[in-house]
């Protein structure tokens, strides 16, 4: 109970954090109950209102096939959030364990890890995702994997450096001297200290993951072309630039910006609270 109270105080302390939390709660609700909240079926074509700008009937207009933009946007929330969260969970989990073992055990594994990480970090994460998608083909799972792979290297680096710092602390040496099994040392002494940086990296990565999903959809490499994600809606306008139906691009873009902004703000707040030293080290995704 105390922790929840703390949480509420933290949220209310900063108006920006409050704003971000509200947006995220809204997004969560939309993701959980799209069919109930969306006014219309996202795939239904309204032939009487093809390419219609915002009207009373279709608050955010309709697209080239007459489908209601608002409904499509609402259904898109779930897809985006699922993909982003899955990707981040996947990449942070892999990164966490990899970084921990590499940092703690050292040796050739650590050296190899460092070289791999260096190479991975030399390829911009979006391009890495594109490469993976080219090889694996489109689909929800592959998109998640593609985005996740881009985020592993950064996580490994941060966790590894945390482990290296903690490893040299006196209490770890004491535990080793007492003959404690390495697994126990890792789980009881080292891992808990790495949760804070992990949380910070994860929250900052969420914004990047959402951006990545949108960019991939925009480039036509997302899940499927017909799926109502914000990125794919925007790409349609780009293709038909001669007669742009601005509402199909502008509104999803606003939603994207707000969502990314909210995750960034939460990430910032977490970082300020947990570890100000990480400022400047953490990149997107």
Partner 1 sequence: MYKYIFRRVLIAIPTLVGVSLVIFFFMRILPGDVVDAMVTDETGAMVFTEQQRESINESLGLNRPLYVQYGGWMKDVFTGDMGYSFWTKISVGEHIRRRAPMTIEITVLSLIISWVIGLPVGILAAVNRNSIGDYFSRGIVIFFLAVPSFYAALGFLIFFVLVFTWRPPVDVIFFWQNPIQSLYVALPAAVAIGTGMAAVIARMARSSILEVIREDYVRTARSKGLANNVVITKHVLKNALIPVVTISGLQFGNLLSGSIAVEMALSIPGLGALLAQGLADRDWMIIQNLVLIFAFAFIVINLIVDIIYSTIDPRIRYD
Interacting residues toward partner 1 by CB under 8 A: 16, 115-116, 118-120, 122-127, 130-137, 207, 211, 214-215, 218-221, 225, 234-235, 237-238, 241-242, 244, 246, 249-250, 253, 256-258, 260-261, 264-265, 279-280, 283-284
- β-partners of residue 188 are none
Angle at 119 between CA 116 and CA 123, to 5 degrees: 135
Which residue is associated with the tokens 């490994």? 156
- β-partners of residue 68 are 62
Complex with partner 1: residue 186 or 228, whichever CB lies closer: 228
Residue 95 CA to residue 63 CA, distance in Å, equals: 41
Complex with partner 1: residue 153 or 191, whichever CB lies closer: 153
| Least distance (Å) between residue 116 CB and partner 1 | 8
Burial label, 197 (beta-carbon count in 10 A; 0-12, 13-18, 19+):
buried
Complex with partner 1: residue 16 or 82, whichever CB lies closer: 16
| Least distance (Å) between residue 237 CB and partner 1 | 7
Complex with partner 1: residue 86 or 285, whichever CB lies closer: 285
Q: Is 62 helix (H, G, I), strand (E, B) or coil?
A: strand
- β-partners of residue 184 are none
| Least distance (Å) between residue 53 CB and partner 1 | 12
Complex with partner 1: residue 128 or 175, whichever CB lies closer: 128
Residue 78 CA to residue 54 CA, distance in Å, equals: 23
| Least distance (Å) between residue 107 CB and partner 1 | 20
| Least distance (Å) between residue 113 CB and partner 1 | 13
């Amino acid at each position: 109970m105390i922790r929840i109270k703390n949480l509420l105080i933290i949220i209310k302390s900063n108006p920006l954090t409050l704003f971000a939390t509200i947006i995220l709660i809204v997004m969560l609700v939309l993701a959980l109950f799209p069919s109930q909240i969306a006014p219309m079926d996202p795939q239904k074509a309204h032939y009487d209102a093809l390419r219609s700008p915002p009207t009373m009937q279709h608050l955010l207009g309709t697209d080239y096939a007459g489908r209601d933009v608002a409904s499509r946007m609402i259904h898109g929330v779930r897809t985006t959030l699922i993909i982003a969260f899955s990707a981040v969970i996947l990449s942070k989990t892999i990164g966490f364990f990899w970084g921990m073992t590499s940092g703690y055990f050292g040796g050739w594994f650590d050296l190899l890890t460092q070289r791999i990480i260096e190479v991975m970090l030399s390829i911009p994460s979006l391009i890495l995702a594109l490469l993976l998608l080219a090889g694996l083909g489109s689909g929800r799972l592959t998109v998640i994997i593609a985005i996740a792979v881009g985020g592993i290297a950064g996580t490994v680096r941060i966790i590894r450096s945390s482990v290296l710092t903690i490893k040299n602390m006196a209490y770890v040496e004491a535990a080793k001297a007492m003959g404690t099994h390495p697994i126990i040392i890792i789980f009881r002494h080292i891992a808990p200290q790495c949760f804070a940086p992990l949380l910070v990296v994860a929250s900052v990565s969420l914004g990047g993951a959402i951006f990545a999903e949108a960019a991939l959809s925009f480039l036509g490499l997302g899940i499927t072309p017909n799926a109502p994600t914000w990125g794919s809606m925007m790409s349609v306008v780009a293709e038909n630039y001669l007669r742009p139906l601005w509402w199909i691009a502008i509104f999803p873009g606003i939603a994207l910006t707000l969502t990314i902004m909210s995750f960034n703000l939460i990430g910032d707040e977490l970082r300020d609270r947990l570890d100000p030293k990480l400022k400047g080290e953490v990149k997107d995704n």
